[in-house]
Structure 1
Amino acid sequence: MKARFADAAKSLFEIPGGPRVDFTAPAGEAALAAADSVSWRVFKNPVALFVGGVTAVILELAEPRVRTGVWEHSSFRTDPLTRLKRTGLAAMVTVYGARSVAEAMIAGVGRQHARVAGTTPDGTAYRADAVELLDWVQATASFGFMGAYHALAQPLSRADRDRFYAEAAPAARLYGALGAPTSEADWEVQLAAMLPRLERSDIVLEFLGLMRAVKVAGPLSRLQHPLIRAAVGLVPAPVRDVLGLGREWLPRPLELPVIRAAARLADRTPIPGAPPWEASVRMGLPGNWLYRR
């Protein structure tokens, strides 16, 4: 069972025909986040990454300028799973990649953002490299990934949750998110400030429909719809209210215990060849080092 789970989980990191990043090189070069960081602990868990990634996208799509930029300038409509995998790979490089590799990748993302601009349906101008929007995207990603791990895999203390936000700051600044939250309290302030700007959109429902329709590999496919409902359940209640995501979108009875069991299994299941394993090897540690902690 563990072997099948590991194979299925590894497929979440792999993009057919996409880039292959060697997380073992250069040997000994540190990442933007330290090997003993909360971030390394959280991002090794593919269940939390899938759920947290969907949560983050829902929050992003609630902001009309971000929503328009994402929907009109990315492949979410046509290939949502590959788009999420690319986002996941970028997160893996940001957290586990050697600093020089991560910095080069982030610079490339910045150049792509600089080319994206337009207007929302109501005529509001936006630029993908606007600091306010980059701050929101960074904040939603941190909240989604950490929140999913905390709720489903292993509870994190308030101090560890604050550490997680703070550990993201160096990478966030490289991405151009100069005001991204560095603590849970910062996130709560940012959410409260952004809430009046969020709005309902059929695009959120379209995204969720697309995510329900795509095929996820292996044993995780049997949990696909419950995992999506778990992601909606992590969205703060005031945002769900704005988006019109009612009880029908929330986890059903007995689903959360099953999802938690899967997330905890993932937390104990090393995945040879996956970024957390390779990054540990690069730092002179056993590949399964993160799974012993």
Structure 2
Amino acid sequence: MASGPAAAIRHRAKRGIIRQVRALFNDQARGERPVQRSSDALFAPGSPIQRVHGDVTSMMVGGVAALLLQMLHPAVLAGVWDHSNFRTDMLGRLRRTARFIAVTTYGQRDQAVAAIEKVRAVHAHIAGITTDGTPYRADDPHLLAWVHVSEALSFLDGWQRYGSRPLTAVEEDHYFADFATIAAALGADPVPRSRSEAMALITTLRPELHADDRTWEVARIVLGHRPDNMLAIPVQAVTMQAAVDLLPDWARAMHGLPTPPAIVRPLVRTGAMGLARTLRWAFAD
């Protein structure tokens, strides 16, 4: 193993990156620590879902894209707008989502089940009326299906673009089938179990989507967020640009976000790929 000043510098750089990432995904003020991988998790080690959900860049980029997609459904948007402190604590909401994904993907089976039951209990008390007078409930299987398929497609597409090795078509379907077990346990219905089923569900649900001032306000908050740590600002900028680029053209248009010019897209993707490689280097043993 290499030693000396150069090795010490690399070690400090890695530790610094790891600290920043863990601070992003764990509320250290509340004593949260990274979720430990368990041999008794819901999914097998090395399974497609563990590979996809374990890649920091893919999940950051895919997570932001998923959130922007989800907010295009008026009832989902209303639930977030009326029943969360998202506008004042965006990082907190993203952390909670990331932690739920980590616990249900890697945590001990009993911890994963408990996390799912906790979310179901919260959803059971969330209800309201959209701006057009339509009643909604957070535990509506139909709405949960939209939230799930938005996440599944965005996480997977983030991996396929920025992961270390793209999944095969068979592995993609394995990913959807595994993730479907979590969605079904949360009460979502229908739940896609393959890429083709996921794309069909998106097509079915698209007529229900709508964008208005509140949708665009959420997008402004998400994409305009600036981290407290000045060193993290470039990383944040790359992540947000890559998330917008990951969105389907129709979703980007609904948000009023410009399509990156052809000459810019390679720069965005190169930047995000560079970020992915740096983070994998930092977390490598």
Give the shorter-chain TM-score range: 0.7 to 0.9
Q: Is the 8 A contact 1:5 1:219 kept in 2?
A: no
Q: Distance in 2 between matches of 1:249 and 1:256?
A: 13
Closer/same/farther in 2, CA of residues 24 and 266 from structure 1, 3 Å limit: closer
The answer to whether structure 1 residue 6 and structure 2 residue 18 are counterparts is: yes
Q: Is the 8 A contact 2:48 2:171 kept in 1?
A: yes
Classify the secondary structure of the residue corresponding to 2:30.
coil
| 1:262 paired residue number | 275
Q: Distance in 1 between matches of 2:181 and 2:225?
A: 36
Closer/same/farther in 2, CA of residues 79 and 163 from structure 1, 3 Å limit: same
Aligned counterparts, 1:43-82, within 5 A:
43-82=53-92
Q: Is the 8 A contact 1:136 1:180 kept in 2?
A: no
Aligned counterparts, 1:149-160, within 5 A:
149-154=159-164, 155-160=166-171
Closer/same/farther in 2, CA of residues 169 and 243 from structure 1, 3 Å limit: same
The answer to whether structure 1 residue 238 and structure 2 residue 269 are counterparts is: no
Classify the secondary structure of the residue corresponding to 2:128.
strand
Q: Distance in 1 between matches of 2:279 and 2:159?
A: 11
Q: Is the 8 A contact 1:43 1:145 kept in 2?
A: yes
Classify the secondary structure of the residue corresponding to 1:133.
helix
Aligned counterparts, 1:1-293, within 5 A:
1-18=13-30, 20=32, 23-24=35-36, 28=39, 30-154=40-164, 155-211=166-222, 212-215=224-227, 217=229, 219-247=231-259, 254-270=267-283
Q: Distance in 2 between matches of 1:2 and 1:210?
A: 30
Letter in 2 for 1:73: H
Letter in 2 for 1:192: T
Letter in 2 for 1:81: L
Classify the secondary structure of the residue corresponding to 1:77.
coil
| 1:274 paired residue number | none
Letter in 1 for 2:108: A
Closer/same/farther in 2, CA of residues 216 and 132 from structure 1, 3 Å limit: farther
- Which stretch shifts more, 38-47 or 63-72? 38-47
Q: Distance in 2 between matches of 1:6 and 1:249?
A: 33
Q: Distance in 2 between matches of 1:69 and 1:257?
A: 36
What's the CA shift for 1:217?
4.6
Q: Distance in 2 between matches of 1:226 and 1:205?
A: 20
| 1:134-161 deviation digits (Å, cap 9, x = unpaired) | 1111111111111111112232222222
* TM-score, L = length of structure 1: 0.84
| 1:291 paired residue number | none
Classify the secondary structure of the residue corresponding to 1:17.
helix
Q: Distance in 2 between matches of 1:148 and 1:84?
A: 16
Q: Percent identity?
A: 31
Classify the secondary structure of the residue corresponding to 1:126.
strand
Letter in 2 for 1:229: Q
**Long gaps (5+) in structure 2:** 1-12
Classify the secondary structure of the residue corresponding to 2:191.
coil
Which of the pair has more CA radius of gyration? 2
Q: Distance in 2 between matches of 1:59 and 1:76?
A: 16
* TM-score, L = length of structure 2: 0.87
What's the CA shift for 1:249?
10
Classify the secondary structure of the residue corresponding to 1:76.
coil
Q: Distance in 1 between matches of 2:138 and 2:252?
A: 24
Instruction: Provide the alpha-carbon RMSD of the alignment.
Output: 2.3
Larger RCO of the pair (alpha carbons < 8 Å, separation 6+) = 1
Q: Is the 8 A contact 2:177 2:194 kept in 1?
A: yes
What's the CA shift for 1:238?
1.9
**Long gaps (5+) in structure 1:** 272-287, 289-293
